[in-house]
Amino acid sequence: MCRNFVCGTRVTTGVITTALPSWRHCGAGAGPADPVGCRGVRTGSGTACLAHLSAADRAACLGALGPGADVDLRGTAFSEDLLRALFDAVRDPVSGAPAFGEAQFVGASFSGDARFVGASFSGTARFGGAVFGGAARFDRAEFGAGARFHNVEFKGPADFTKARFRGTGRFGEAVFSGAVEFGGTSFADTAHFAGARFDAAPHLGPLVCGRLLDLSAAVFTEPVTIEAAAAEIACRRTRWESTAILRLRHARVDLTDGRPAQPIAVVGQFTPFASVPARAEEALGSDPVVRVVSIRGVDASMLTLADLNLAECVFTGALHLDQLRLEGLSIFRTTPGGRRTRGLVPFRWTRRQVIEEERQWRALPGRAASARRGWGAPPPDPAAVPGLASLTTVYRQLRKAREDSKDEPGAADFYYGEMEMRRHSFGYRRAERWLLQAYWSLSGYGLRAARALAWLVTAMIVSVFALTLWGVPSSDPGAVTTGILPGTGRRITLSTDTPSPGLTGPLTERFTGERVEKSVQVVLNSVIFRASGQSLTTAGTYIEMTSRLIEPGFLALALLAVRGRLKR
């Protein structure tokens, strides 16, 4: 049995031999021996492509084939009848479907419907540059060693429903002019659609790719819904000329330099796709959460991200970031936990959401080891880490996006990040940086209620001690009265004299219950701008005035922080 049938081979006494090692188009002329549109190989006299062999020679060629045969039919012009005859020659008697080994259909043309339904290819199937004039049916087809459909033109519908690609499926720069079906299709390795054009594909998927689904530089001219589960999905420079919804599972998604002309939504789907068997996703792991790694260069006003992990996402360079829509569960990276020391001062990071660019900046090798601890590995290219001015802008735009969606608690962390970048930046005057430093220390930019309350309690305790020591007099002053004694006629001069409150005794004897109680009353009244009415020494009067100025401010900052977390 012949295992290597080559288009354009010479037929001699029933033996098939290769006439040329390479193929080329024939049919530039219009004669009977050189028909217009023929894509076979012309090798000289007595040679013709499969489409133009005599009936007897064609029967001899096809009769030499069998199930699993290697075929080389590059450039052949297939009619439906000729394709059916080829299928009959390689049909598997058990499955009833065509079975090929290595299959070469490069540059072939299919004038009618090409029904490769259930076909199996144990070797590589090559269809590069082929043209399908009618429907291309590859549903339930099996590709054992990869398939190459690059530069293929599908003029009619293309159906790959439940097809299985055990290797890589390459559809780069293919053109899909009709409806496209990839429902339940699985790729053990990679699905390449880079540069492909989809002119009428309302639904693509669900696809399952063991490694990469590459849609880079692809063009979608009509509204489309893409459903896919993959380890990685690349949508770099992808053009979305109409609306699109991407429902994804498991993947790390790269949207760098995407070009949406209409709104698109990337949605993480937690439940498996209905038409995909559960075992098909086993190689992808048990975590279905989708991670977006970059939206750099994307017009974010056209982008909605829902139920996604954005811990690794690079936002710098996105356009109109303040109009980005974040819906559902958006997971960001958080500050490292645990207690640390900076010099001799203990501290800990308060929990907040941070973006990947801040993590990279805090992990830069040039920073102190204590400042870098807990922020992960240093960035591979420190020079590519954005500056603090850029990070300030990114945080400000993300904050506005959250505020516009009425999510004040979500905006609070981005406001904190914005203020942190401003505090560390050297682009501001020293006085402003000191002011930001004080704002951070006293209340966490008005967002840390516990910090403001701690300062309030501290100020109150200090005020109580100060008043007890120096503000409350040792005894309340008495009234001295002089006047005229009634009934006797004796003139007495009356005058009321209130001596200045004074202190007596050493400091150790001033801590009495009565004096502490008076101090507490003065301080509590100071917090709410009320005068205590207590007799105080001159020092006590100034202590009370200072308390009435500072402590209500701490209370206001604490209330502001609580409001920021509860406001909707």
pLDDT tens per residue across span 305-339: 999 999 999 999 999 999 999 998 899 999 887 66
Q: In whole angstroms, what is the distance from residue 258 CA to residue 297 CA?
A: 7
What pLDDT is stored for residue 196 in this prediction?
A: 96
**Radius of gyration of the CA atoms of the chain, in A:** 40
The CA distance from 481 to 165, in Å, is: 110
The tokens describing 244, both together, are 């699109």
Residue type, 273: F
Nearest to 75 by CA among 134, 116, 123, 27: 27
Q: In whole angstroms, what is the distance from residue 543 CA to residue 549 CA?
A: 10
Reading the block at residue 63, the tokens are 């009769």
pLDDT of res. 452: 84
Task: Tell if the pTM clears 0.75, that is, is over it.
Answer: yes
Q: Quote the pLDDT of residue 388.
A: 92
Question: 């299959």: which residue's tokens?
Answer: 103
pLDDT for 478 equals 54
Omega of the bond leading into 206 within 30 degrees of 0 (cis): yes
Q: Do 8 and 43 meet the contact criterion of CB atoms below 8 Å apart?
A: yes
Q: Are the C-beta atoms of residues 264 and 246 closer than 8 Å to each other?
A: yes
Residue type, 164: R
Give strand pairing partners of 225.
Answer: 203, 245
Q: How many C-beta neighbours within 10 Å does residue 311 have? A: 18
CA–CA distance, 171 with 182 (Å, rounded to integer) = 12
Model pLDDT for residues 301-314, shown as the tens digit of each residue: 999 999 999 999 99
pLDDT < 50 positions in the chain: 1-47
How much is the pLDDT for 531? 58
Phi/psi for 376 (5° steps) reads: 85, -170
Give the span between the Cα atoms of 549 and 526, in whole angstroms. 8
User: Can you tell me which residue has the tokens 């420190």?
Assistant: 382
Task: Judge whether 27 and 48 are in contact, CB under 8 Å.
Answer: no
Query: How many Å apart are CA 267 and CA 290, to the nearest integer?
Result: 8
